Amino acid sequence: MPVRLPLLIPAFLLLLRFGLILSPLSPWLRDDHQLASPLTSFTRLKEGIWLFQKGIDPYHGGVFRHSPLTLALFTTLIPPLPLVSALVWTAADGLAAWCLGEIWRARIAPNADEGRGLLLASLYLANPYNLGPTLALSTSSLDNALLLLSLRFAVLQRPSPAVLLLALLSFSSLPAVLLLVPLVMIVLSGPRATAVPRKVDLNAAGRAVGEFALYTIAFAGASTFVAGSWGWVLQTWGATVMLPDLTPNPGLWWYFFTEMFDHYRPFFLLTFSLHPLIYVAPICLKFQHDPLFAFFLLQGIISTFKSYPTLSDAGLYVSLLGLFPEIYTYFRHPLVTALLHLHAAVLLPLFHYLWLDAGTGNANFFYASTLVFGLANGATIVDSLWAGLRSTIGEKDGWDVVQL
């Protein structure tokens, strides 16, 4: 079999991250707030494993917030040794990149893929937003791989594995539950955009949702079995909603809640938690003709507004953008968005350094840079929403679309 030369690029990128994970760079990055949140940090995972193996309930006390399933996996199958972790995280990124390529191939089928699948996979691997968390061994990279794998099964129209993986994902990243609706839509009507929304088989949809509920209950039972009590619910799912740990991250929640008077907390927690819910119905209704696009938009909204994001959430969203080249010409302000992202990528580590290393700045600096980052993500979502709607109309000379 002839060696396909372009394959060397992702191979090189995978080898690079394997080497870098084993280098001293990885321990140095491991506790970086931008790369690992309290829910995904490798240091906390190791702490939890240690407590668990010593027979102490890791969910007692506020350090460990990984799901019991992750805990079970890392205490049995995957020991947290450097070489094993390097292999697992490299493999997860490789899997995620491969899934992305597969999803693209499924979307343009029956047309042949002209190497763009490989390009998308390489871009996923080369994206610093994805590379950083992997080097820090943040479990958010594994979450990304799970999500893409689930999406891959969905575009192949295999409901059971898709919802199974999504149920699994919802244990490490609760907001992923919102993606169930577009995921089921993809399973039912395929990954391609159609001129008119297809007739949806409601029974099949109900079956998929029921299956999801079943898996969730089963996993919850397994989690309780592993953890020995229901204590994990408040520490993992509860943390996503109630934000007990105000460790800084690139998201929009932490600073807001450090500044909050305690008697306002419940109200704003409710508002912040429910806020992403309101997008689900309108986006899924508007994009019935292209559920994959609805999935993409919703993923962007979740990654912008979730309570403990890391850079890999934004990285996944930016990578998914590559699946929709048809909308590129309709972007209204691509340059502004790109520059916002560039500025955010420079300002986030810079202000993080000024605040926590140099000690010359303060929390407001880093907060300001997270706002720039939020703005960049927001601009990406708004512009892709416009372009996605606009691309369905097409061009006509001398005509201009004012409103969609």
Interface residues for another protein in 349-378 (CB under 8 A)? 350-351, 354, 357-361, 365
Question: With respect to another protein, which residue has the nearer C-beta, 276 or 334?
Answer: 334
Cβ-in-10-Å burial (0-12, 13-18, 19+) of 154 comes to buried
DSSP line for 282-334: HHHHHTTT-HHHHHHHHHHHHHHH-SS--HHHHHHHHHHGGG-GGGGGG-S-H
Cα–Cα distance between 149 and 143 in angstroms, integer? 10
3 scored as a contact of another protein (CB under 8 A): no
114 scored as a contact of another protein (CB under 8 A): no
Question: With respect to another protein, which residue has the nearer C-beta, 297 or 347?
Answer: 347
The residue from 71, 166, 347, 381 that contacts another protein (CB under 8 A) is 347
400 scored as a contact of another protein (CB under 8 A): yes
Residues 6+ apart with CB under 8 A from 138: 35, 36, 37, 40, 41, 42, 310, 312
24 scored as a contact of another protein (CB under 8 A): no
Number of residues that bind another protein (CB under 8 A): 18
The terminus-to-terminus CA distance of the chain in angstroms comes to: 50
Question: With respect to another protein, which residue has the nearer C-beta, 112 or 402?
Answer: 402
Tell me how far, at minimum, the Cβ of 311 lies from another protein, in Å.
17
User: b/e for 21-49, b at 16 or more Cβ within 10 A?
Assistant: beeeebeebbebbbbbbbbbbbebbbbbb
Cα–Cα distance between 367 and 357 in angstroms, integer? 16
Per-residue x/- mask for another protein, residues 326 to 345, rule CB under 8 A?
Answer: ---------x---x--xx--
131 scored as a contact of another protein (CB under 8 A): no
Tell me how far, at minimum, the Cβ of 400 lies from another protein, in Å.
6
Question: With respect to another protein, which residue has the nearer C-beta, 28 or 264?
Answer: 28
The contact set with another protein (CB under 8 A) reads 335, 339, 342-343, 346-347, 350-351, 354, 357-361, 365, 400, 402-403
